[in-house]
Amino acid sequence: MNKTFDKSLPLAIGSDHAGFEYKEEIKKKLQAAGWLVEDKGTYSLDSTDYPDYAHPLATMVEDGKATAGILICGSGNGVCMTANKHAGIRAALCWTDELASLARQHNNANVLCIPSRFVSLQLSEQMTDTFLATEFEGGRHEKRVEKI
């Protein structure tokens, strides 16, 4: 199992209207840090349906065309539930930096889900940085992840 994310592959990002502004800011920060970012939408504040963006992002990660994904919606639940319908996706809903770290360390999460209506932009950016920088610990956690 990969312990880190492959920076030679794109990082997929997507949101619905509730997560659009955070997505745009996180995308800029990631690009400035050298990530190749594949934006799966939405592209405005117009009301939209989160599965329309979560499914294509999850497919991209599932197919190995993206190293990982970041999904953002109002509660984080909708995008998380949608992404987790895909085999090989381990999407984690996080609202603290520690959860983002543990999602990687213990669960080898490959999609970070952010609840934009419940966390600040600053915390969202911090969780993204932590998620991308944290390695999967493997060991006793590996057998558990394999059971997923």
CA–CA dist 49, 42 (Å, integer): 9
CA angle, residues 74, 76, 82, in degrees to nearest 5:
120
| Chain centroid to CA 63 | 15
Backbone angles phi, psi at 50, to 5 degrees: -55, -35
- Catalytic residue at 141? no
Catalytic option among 55, 73, 94, 113: 73
In the structure, how many helices (H) and strands (E) does the chain have? 6, 5
Based on the residue annotation, tell me whether 113 is a catalytic residue of this protein.
no
113, 83 contact by CB (below 8 A): yes
Of the residues 17, 55, 106, 141, which is catalytic?
Answer: 106
**Residues that are catalytic:** 73, 106
